[in-house]
């Protein structure tokens, strides 16, 4: 089969391919229903092996610790942020039908704010007070892995907050997310994780322990769902302040 990755599918399902082969399969799967169907059959094998995992009783403290970390307020915030997500992740019910509308409205508001603030920077005459020049905008460009991807990071006056907007990011699986990295002196700190809609469009409100404009560059990689302590996957966007 020309250009198909059928031979690599069993290893891909098992997760034992090297990064370059994994990326090759992942890229191919975005447009090949034949290989996707093949993958689903091998994922069933993996799932069935999971069923025979010997069961070990967990310590009771796990449950207590878990619910000390669960915050209803965070849940409300997160559900608004994930509005406008991919149809691939849509969940049935009225909640699923309302979310995309909220997502589109909130993203439109963010886009308008970004555009008006950026225009204010461009049109500000010389000698004007600098109170309008505080927002910083980092243009992010695609990589060899995702040449069509694009994004901007808008950083607030005091550098404490930022808003990331991305477009045309590559398709990823439900076990993956994109992760923003804040880079200074070769050190990378987590800026947050996010997902995108089918067109690769998404946003993230960013905060960090240090002012965002203290970092010199920013990158986005593909990571396991929930994020990683450090970058492990393909880089899809990068930019410098």
Partner 1 sequence: MILEDETLIELVVQGNQEALAVLYDRFGRLVYSVAYASVGQSEMAAEISQEVFLGIWQKAETFDAEKGKVKTWIARIARNRAIDAVRRMNVRPEGNLVNVDIQDFRIDDNQLDNPTEEKVEKSIQSSNVRSALKQLPENQRKVLAMAYFRGLTNKQIADELGEPLGTVKTRIRLGMQKMRLLLEEYRIEDRNAI
2 touching partner 1, by CB under 8 A? no
Decide whether 3 or 53 has the Cβ nearer to partner 1.
53
Give the count of alpha carbons within 13 A of 186, CB side only.
Answer: 0
Per DSSP, helices labelled H in 89-227 are 94-123
226 touching partner 1, by CB under 8 A? yes
Residue 233 CA to residue 236 CA, distance in Å, equals 9
Q: Residues 159-178: x/- map of binding to partner 1 (CB under 8 A)?
A: ---------------xx---
Among 4, 30, 36, 41, binds partner 1 (CB under 8 A): 41
- Which among 37, 41, 52 has a CA at the least distance from the CA of 14? 41
232 touching partner 1, by CB under 8 A? yes
95 touching partner 1, by CB under 8 A? yes
- Whole-number minimum distance, CB 95 to partner 1, in Å? 6
Residues 6+ apart with CB under 8 A from 10: 42
Pairing of the two strands 150-155 and 161-167: antiparallel
Q: Classify the C-alpha dihedral 224-227-233-238 as positive or negative.
A: positive
Binding site for partner 1 (CB under 8 A): 7, 10-11, 13-18, 41-42, 44-59, 61-63, 65-67, 69-70, 72, 74-76, 78-79, 82, 85, 88-93, 95-96, 99, 174-175, 195, 224-226, 228-230, 232
């Amino acid at each position: 089969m020309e250009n198909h990755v059928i031979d690599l599918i069993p290893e891909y399902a098992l997760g034992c391919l090297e990064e370059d082969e994994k990326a090759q399969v992942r890229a191919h799967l975005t447009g090949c229903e034949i290989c996707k169907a093949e993958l689903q059959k091998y994922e069933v094998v993996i799932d069935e092996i999971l069923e025979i995992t010997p069961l070990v009783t967990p310590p009771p403290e796990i449950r207590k610790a878990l619910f000390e970390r669960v915050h209803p307020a965070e849940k409300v915030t997160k559900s608004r942020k994930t509005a406008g997500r991919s149809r691939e992740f849509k969940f049935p019910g009225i909640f699923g039908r309302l979310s995309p509308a909220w997502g589109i409205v909130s993203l439109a508001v963010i886009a308008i704010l970004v555009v008006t603030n950026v225009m204010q920077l461009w049109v500000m005459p010389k000698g004007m007070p600098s109170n309008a020049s505080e927002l910083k905008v980092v243009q992010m460009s695609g990589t060899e892995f995702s040449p069509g991807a694009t994004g901007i990071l808008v950083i607030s006056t005091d550098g404490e907050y930022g808003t990331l907007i991305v477009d045309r990011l590559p398709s990823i699986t439900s076990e993956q997310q994109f992760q923003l990295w804040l880079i200074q002196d070769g050190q990378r700190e987590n800026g947050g994780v996010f997902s995108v809609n089918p067109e690769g469009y998404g946003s993230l409100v960013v905060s960090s322990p240090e002012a965002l404009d203290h970092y010199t560059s920013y990158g986005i990689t593909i990571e396991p769902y929930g994020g990683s302590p450090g970058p492990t996957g393909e880089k899809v966007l990068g930019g410098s302040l």
